[in-house]
Structure 1
Amino acid sequence: MKHLRIVLTLLMTILIATMAVATFVEQRHGASYAATHVYHTSWFFALWALMALGGMAAIWRMHLWRRLGVMLLHAALLLILAGAAASWLTSSEGTLHLRKGQPADCYTIKDSQLSAALPFQQMTLQGFSVVCYPGTEAPQDFQSQVTYITADRQHHEATISMNHILEVEGYRFYQTSFDPDRQGSVLTVNYDPWGTPISYGGYVLLALSMVWLLIDRRETFGRLLRSPLLRQGATLMLLIVCSMSVHARSVPTITAERANRLAEMPVVYNDRIAPLNTLARDFLLKLYGRTSYKGLTAEQVVYGWMQRPETWSDEPMLLVKDSKLRQQLGIDGKYARLADLFDNTGQYRLQQLIASGGETKAVRELDEKVGIILMLTEGELLRPASGVAINQHRLVAEICYNRIPFVSLLFMTNLTLGILAFCLLLIPAFRFRHCLWQTVCLLGGLSWLVLVAGYALRWYISGRIPLGNGFETMLFLALVLQTVGVMLHRRLSIIVPFALLLSGFTLLVAHLSEMNPQITSLMPVLQSPLLTIHVSLVMMAYALLAFTMMSGIVALIAHHRGHTGHEELLTVLSQLMLYPAVFLLAGGIFLGAVWANVSWGKYWSWDPKEVWALITLLVYAVPLHRTTFLAPHRPVAYHLYMLIAFFSVLMTYFGVNYFLGGMHSYA
């Protein structure tokens, strides 16, 4: 068994390293290059096959058939790999271009000039339409109305749209694109008679086996739940702080009373109907970094710019964070005036910088701010909504949402309470400890209720589950973290500081990364309940993995201070979080594959986000297989591994977006 462990560990390391390197190769040379030289090669297929054979050998050597839940889980993974192999060997994919009224009887095979016959006599496009969100030009859905004649000369009608496919005799047709004149439609044709059913069978078996392992008291997770260490408390952590400033001077604009009345005016903004308050707030945040300017509301600032642009051009309200750019422009302080960006002859100074090779991210950001001002003053930004039904209650709710900075308040509150909770755990003999602890728990509960209310309000305003962009997923992640803390705070007191600190840091990231969060309409392909569940499962997994990372930090500090009892407790707590985290991540990944198959006809495309999610799953699966891999056994080694492993989560969530890109950047 020792030699098998070495071989499996080596194979797992090579597999993870290969996929990680391949994502950077794709970023440099393109997706087709990575597919040709890595993902679709025989040696990469052989690497997975060897991993599967090694897994089967381990199952045999360890007699896993005696533990039915474990056996079924590994059988499910082997079945999923078999399905992937079947898809690779037997599936075909192509494109069908239809023009209105012109019958077609064949499609073009992908990556070739060859044609293949359709599984019926012919298909004809009767019409194509783009359904837009009410009052906007943003597409809500793409629909192709087609007719097709089967071999028995029966005529059939069907509508093919996003997330609504047509399946005929094993062939599936997906709405992919359309011609600019909207008289033609492009469909993806997919034929995968073996891979899809085998893979789906594996997904179902995987879900059943994971639930089994979580509820079986004889398995590892059940034993961890009964550990006497969970009844104890423990340990420590760090801190964080912030500050603000103000100033004043009168500038021409409308009165505050009129601005308040105009706040509810419906406008077309970001391809949806929104109150003027949202547009004004985002405008001011983008320019100034705050939601008010010298005591003026965002609406007053917008109307000031519209009525007296020549006066407002002298207001220092364009935030320039880059000190080098401020020095180049001769600006004192952090804010520039619009007038500062033009020389005495009226030449635009940023354009001169760009022309001389001085274009940087800071220059592009400042240029974008100037562009937004020009759009406003020229009447292109503010467009009143007319001729559409307006939900006045939603407009009022959105104004309330905009005016309550609950994300900013909650990240400061949660971080403060989290630090206090850790200090109270550190000093168990403190006289007023119990009273303060109850106060922390009460305030933490109130903070959670505010977060739930804010998330629910955003849900109501947008008319969908808020999981469509980075800000919303961070909001959901913070909600999951705090919910875990609320649910377990009586049984596991140590979970309280973890939940508060992690949710606080998550809300801080949301606050910093999305200074102008926008409740936008979703792209048509994102309007699927499968996507919502997929993102929810993955984000819950990341939340639990964040707990294991925090446990690792605290455990290493405890080890350094000689608190061995704390190490053991934190090891149990970390493992308790690890099992559901890995299962949720696996479920989220494979449910995402089902959604992709429904949307595009391909359940796995080796996109960088998919690859790094799979890498994260494999990395965290290692410590669950201590008898199979050369996994860390001692508490210190285990916690160090969990701390390092969290970098795969950071790479998956943040790194892919910033360094690699890919199909998952649509949100």
Structure 2
Amino acid sequence: MEKIRQLLASYKTTIVLLLVYAFLMALATFIEKEMTTEAAKVMIYYSPVFFFLQFLLVVNFILTFIDHRFIKRRRWALTVIHFAFVVILAGALTTHVFGKEGTMHIREGETNNVMVMHTSKGVFKEELPFTLELTKFRLIRYPGSMSPSSYESDLRIHIDGEVREARVYMNNVLDLKGYRFFQASYDEDEQGTVLSVNKDVAGRNITYAGYFFLVAGFVLMFVTPNSRLNKLSRQLNELRRSAKLTVVFLLIAFSAAAQDFTSQAIFQAVQRNAVPVEHAAEFGQLPVQFAGRIIPMNTFSAELLRKIHKDNKIGKLNSDQFLLGILTMPKMWMQVPFIANSNEEVAKMFQLPEQHFAYAQVFDPKGNYKLLARVNEAYHKPESQRNEFDKDIIKLDEKINILFLLLNHKLVALFPKADAPNDTWYAPGDDLSGIPEEDSLFISRSLPLYLSEVNRSLESGDWQQPNTILDSIAAFQQKADQAGHINPKKIRTEIRYNKQNIFSKTRTGYFALGLLLLMTAFLRLFKEAMWTNILSKVLVWGIFLVFLYHVYGMAMRWYISGYAPWSNSYETMVYVAWATILAGLIFGRKSDLTLATATIFGGIILFVSGLNWMEPQITTLVPVLKSPWLMFHVAVTVAAYGFFGISLLLGLSNLLILSVAKKETAMLHVRELSIINNMSLLVGLALMTIGTFLGGIWANESWGRYWSWDPKETWALITVVVYSVVTHIHLVRKLNNDWFFNLASVMAFASVLMTFWGVNYLLSGLHSYGENEGVSEVFVYLYAILFGVIVLALVSYRGYKKFKSQGPTSNFY
């Protein structure tokens, strides 16, 4: 019995249990993809084995706490953090056993007091101690768009002999006698609502208490002198008195190629007849309604060009010149090969150029649309059964349709109407039958008149008349915009944001300054001189100034969109780069190499964010994201990725040092970087854990359940578990060495990549964004990097064994 107790209290047991826990959760996400969510819950999440595993973890935490005398040793941070996890698991168990979750469907004018619960054992109904009556359901859309901005249910509550009024909408919960009602869905005819119902007072309170203890524990980790983070900081200060840092790092170069169209006579013609940049900029200032937003024409043209051409320019023409060119010279532009195509099979089947083709080339001599039959065939397939060819031909068809609407003046929605449904704006080619004759004449004639005058000005060089017509269109917009959607200040800010290209410039700055700082740190190894010290400080300040410019760009995007700029893949990449540089600046005070590698890594992340398959446009938010919890949850979680990225780079640097270093002093440099690596991991783990459970609170306030085993949240928890293992391996004596720790910090980053990328593109769930065009290429690079890491691990282990044979090596004790 004593041996079993010792086994359960062992740190080795902790590591094994955590790894098994992570493996089972990862397996469940793939079971869910191949089978169903219910299958994953039955086979893994709600299985006796999984519950027993969690019970063993609780027992292990408690016995470890007792045997290793956390309180007597004043390990307050560890005590509170481990206690928090026990409380959180207890809350989850309480929810599973006693919690109730169901739905309630109500039509307008009808009442209901029955909650329907779907479980693995069948469908159950429960009568509630009150009745709800739906007086009105509203689906609010973004102006001029079919995308929902919000959906709301006006309810009349009959309870305890009283009648109350309430409104339920996304992120606005109704609480009644322990039951919570959330806006979940609605009927297709928009005459009925579906409410999610949850009763879990005890489980929610216990779980939230656990979250509170968790945050308190991590705060103690930063402030108590006996915490591991502060111990590592003291070790680093002691070590720096006796050693200097060796600079070793691999630089990765990227190159890109772009096709040149200047050899084509037709393209030279449209270039020669381009509208001057100055007038195109005037045209770009006009407000236009697109995808639920009021944006400057400059943004509209840029999004259009990226969508169709996969670039920000076409030859020497900017997006505004491109749009005006198509509108003023449509026949000529129909012959220009600027429509991007990435599928060779499509090109061969329809006899199109492989990379870019012209609008006219998708029609045969009789005017028939060549792609029609295959497009219809692709659309008739269920989305899950469409292959790569089907997806690409649908994307090409979308581009052709966009150009068709543009050429027929049906896409550029320039003109507001005071009483239009959903505040819809109109394009000159739209049906204007419901608009007063005077306004409809202006809407239908002003744009063609303007384009005609632009053609005359191209010959005469006098742009007074086109400018006058632009002014008249702008005046009409201001007069008709009684809903007040036009914000001139935001329009000007968005144009400035588009022109400044902030994140591209930031990327260049990070690359240049990071490389210079890396070389400066290398020079200081061999000769400590005043000029290298001064240059190092100048470069650090340069990085800080670029970082502030990065912040400025994010702030501008926040102001333009009206929400925190980390709601989609592109914005999150920009934010991860910011968090990486922030982590580098924090730990760079102790090591130039740390800041240099972080800066280069930040540049690489921004490089990836600027690739063609990323979508940098500012979009509207789906209703569930209109919550303050979005800002806190995503901000904290993604900031953790920056610190994990620093640990990845430091781990690689240490493995490189072990692979190529000849002198025993190399181990001192490895030791220094390993301590910084460990500190970065602890900060990242704290942020990741807090962010993950903040997501649980957000989910509970939006859907009525703080944990649903969705693949994204499951992999976030796996990442927490994986990095918990890495930060605890020093407790296992045989694994307590610098080589294994640094290798583990590198390999653990795979869980971050899976959480951030893999779930979105390999699995399904609430957080799955769908596969972006070209994203499969990223996985090819990841496989190549994994092979390189394996080779590096083997070579560095030989170096580590060589140093170990020469004498004792340092560890984390």
- Whether TM exceeds 0.5 here: the answer is yes
Task: Give yes or no for contact 1:264–1:395 (8 Å, CA) kept in 2.
Answer: yes
> Matches of residues 598-609 of structure 1 in structure 2 within 5 Å?
598-609=701-712
Aligned position for 2:116 = 108
Equivalent position SS for 2:702: helix
Q: Spell out, residue by residue over 1:112-166, the C-alpha distance to the aligned partner (whole angstroms, 9 max, x if none).
A: 443211132x111121223344565543222211121222x12221111111101
Q: Report the equivalent of 1:292.
A: 313
Alignment partner for residue 98 of structure 2, among 72, 90, 95?
A: 90
State the partner residue of 1:381. Answer: 411
**What is the CA distance between 1:449 and its match in structure 2?**
2.1
Alpha-carbon distance in 2 for matches of 1:311, 1:166: 59
In structure 2, the CA distance between the partners of 1:637 and 1:113, relative to structure 1 (3 Å rule), is closer
1:285, 1:141 → 2: CA distance?
29
2:252 partner amino acid? L
Matched residues in 2 for 1:230 and 1:363: separation?
A: 60
Q: CA deviation at 1:254?
A: 4.8
The one-letter code of the counterpart of 1:143 is E
Aligned partner (choices 118, 129, 138) of residue 129 of structure 1: 138
Give distance in 2, aligned partners of 1:313 and 1:420. 47
1:154 aligns with 2:192: no
**1:408 CA drift (Å):** 2.1
1:462 to 544, 561, 569: 561
Match of 1:173 in 2: 181
Mapped to 2, the partners of 1:394 and 1:514 lie a distance apart of 27
Note if 1:187 corresponds to 2:207: no
Partner of 1:511: 610
Counterpart of 2:798 in structure 1 is none
Question: CA-atom RMSD, angstroms?
Answer: 2.5
The correspondence of residues 494-573 of structure 1 with structure 2, limited to 5 A, is: 494-512=593-611, 515-562=614-661, 563-573=666-676
Q: Secondary structure at the match of 1:464?
A: coil
For residues 235 and 325 of structure 1, what CA distance do their matches in structure 2 show? 49
**Secondary structure of the residue that 1:640 maps to in structure 2?**
helix
1:259 aligns with 2:280: yes
Instruction: Say which SS state the counterpart of residue 129 (structure 2) adopts.
Output: coil
**DSSP-derived class of the 1:104 partner:** strand
Deviation at 1:213, TM superposition (A): 1.5
Alpha-carbon displacement from aligned partner over 1:449-504 (angstroms, at most 9, x marks no partner) = 22111111111111121111111111111112222333444443222212211211
Corresponding residue for residue 508 of structure 2: 412
Is 1:170–1:191's contact at 8 Å kept on the other side of the alignment?
A: yes
Instruction: Count how many residue pairs are aligned between Structure 1 and Structure 2.
Output: 665
Say whether residues 1:234 and 2:246 are aligned partners: yes
Q: Deviations over 1:562-602 (max 9, x none)?
A: 22122101110001111111111110011100000000000
Aligned to 1:250: 269
Q: Is the 8 A contact 1:582 1:617 kept in 2?
A: yes
User: Secondary structure of 1:602's partner?
Assistant: coil
Work out the percentage of aligned pairs sharing the same amino acid. 30
| 3-12 or 444-453: bigger deviation | 3-12
Indicate how the Cα distance of structure 1 residues 358 and 209 shifts in structure 2: closer, same or farther if over 3 A, else same: closer
Give the counterpart of 1:477 among 548, 561, 576: 576
CA contact (8 A) 1:8 1:629 kept: no
The 5 A counterparts of 1:405-444 are 405-428=501-524, 429=526, 433-444=532-543
Question: How far off its partner does 1:317 sit?
Answer: 0.8
Q: Secondary structure at the match of 1:250?
A: helix
Which AA in structure 2 matches 1:367?
Answer: D
Residue of structure 2 aligned with 1:649, choices 752, 768, 772: 752
Residue 16 of structure 2 is aligned with which of 1, 4, 10?
Answer: 10
Partner of 2:471: none
Any residues of structure 2 matched to 1:444-455 within 5 Å, and which?
444-455=543-554
- Tell me if the contact between 2:81 and 2:213 (Cα under 8 Å) persists in the aligned partners: yes
Whether the 8 Å CA contact 2:518–2:592 is kept in 1: the answer is no
Q: 1:626 to 1:296 in 2, by over 3 A?
A: closer
Secondary structure of the residue aligned to 1:63 is coil
Structure 1 residue 210 and structure 2 residue 218: aligned?
Answer: yes
Query: Is the 2:181–2:195 contact (alpha carbons within 8 Å) kept by the matching residues of 1?
Result: yes
What is the match of residue 726 of structure 2? 623
Deviates more, 1:360-369 or 1:138-147: 360-369
The letter for the 2-side match of 1:585 is: M
Which stretch of the first structure deviates more once superposed, 543-552 or 218-227?
Answer: 218-227
Report if aligned partners of 2:730, 2:736 keep a CA contact under 8 Å in 1: no
Q: How many angstroms does 1:610 deviate by?
A: 0.8
Deviations 1:395-450 (A, max 9, x none): 11111111222222222331232223222222323665334423422331232122
Q: Answer with 1 or 2: which has the greater Rg.
A: 2
Q: Give the match's secondary structure for 1:638.
A: helix
Output the CA distance in 1 between the equivalents of 2:68 and 2:181.
45
Question: How many Å separate the matches in 2 of 1:353 and 1:174?
Answer: 43
- Measured after TM superposition, the shift of residue 169 of structure 1 is 1.0
Residue 762 of structure 2: aligned partner = 659
- 1:644 and 1:82 map into 2 onto residues whose CA distance is 31
Amino acid at match of 1:59: F
Letter in 2 for 1:142: Y
Aligned residue for 2:708, secondary structure, equals coil
What residue in structure 2 maps to residue 319 of structure 1?
A: 340
Which residue is equivalent to 1:34? 40
Paired residues of 1:98 and 1:185 also in contact (CA < 8 A): yes
1:80 is paired with a residue of what secondary structure?
A: helix
- Name 1:633's counterpart in structure 2: 736
Deviation of 1:353 after TM superposition, in Å, equals 5.8
Q: 2:291 matched to 1:283?
A: no
Query: SS in structure 2 opposite 1:119?
Result: strand
C-alpha distance in structure 1 between counterparts of 2:732 and 2:400, whole Å: 57
Give the whole-Å Cα distance in 2 for the aligned partners of 1:5 and 1:74: 13
Q: Which whole-Å deviations, capped at 9, do the CAs of 1:259-301 have from their partners, x for residues lacking one? A: 2222111111121111111110011112222222233231232
Distance 2:352 2:84 in 1: 63
Offset at 1:307? 3.9
Asked whether the 8 Å contact 2:583–2:646 carries over to 1, the reply is: no
Q: For 2:735, what is the secondary structure of its paired residue?
A: coil
Shifted more, 318-327 versus 72-81: the winner is 318-327
Counterpart in 2 of 1:68?
76
Give the drift of 1:660: 0.5
* Aligned residues of 2:15 and 2:728 also touching (Cα < 8 A): no
1:591 lines up with 2:621 in the alignment: no
Does the C-alpha gap of structure 1 residues 442 and 625 become closer, same or farther in structure 2, counting only changes over 3 Å? Answer: closer
State the distance in 2 between where 1:612 and 1:49 align: 21
> Which of structures 1 and 2 has the larger relative contact order (alpha carbons within 8 angstroms, sep 6+)?
1
Distance 1:242 1:445 in 2: 27
Cα distance in 2, alignment partners of residues 57 and 561 from structure 1: 43
Aligned-partner Cα distance in 2 for 1:622–1:78:
17
Higher mean displacement: 418-427 or 631-640: 418-427
- Cα drift, residue 369 of structure 1: 2.2
| CA shift in 2, pair 1:488/1:46, >3 Å | closer
Q: 1:21 to 1:500 in 2, by over 3 A?
A: same
1:212 CA drift (Å): 0.7
SS in 2 for 1:188: strand
Give the whole-Å Cα distance in 2 for the aligned partners of 1:350 and 1:636: 57
Partner Cα distance (2:732, 2:397) in 1: 53
Contact 2:584 2:594 in 1 (8 A): yes
Corresponding residue for 2:150? Answer: 141
Does the CA contact (< 8 Å) of 2:570 and 2:614 recur in 1? Answer: no
- Indicate whether 1:49 and 2:49 are aligned: no
Q: How does 1:333-344 map to 2 (within 5 A)?
A: 334-344=355-365
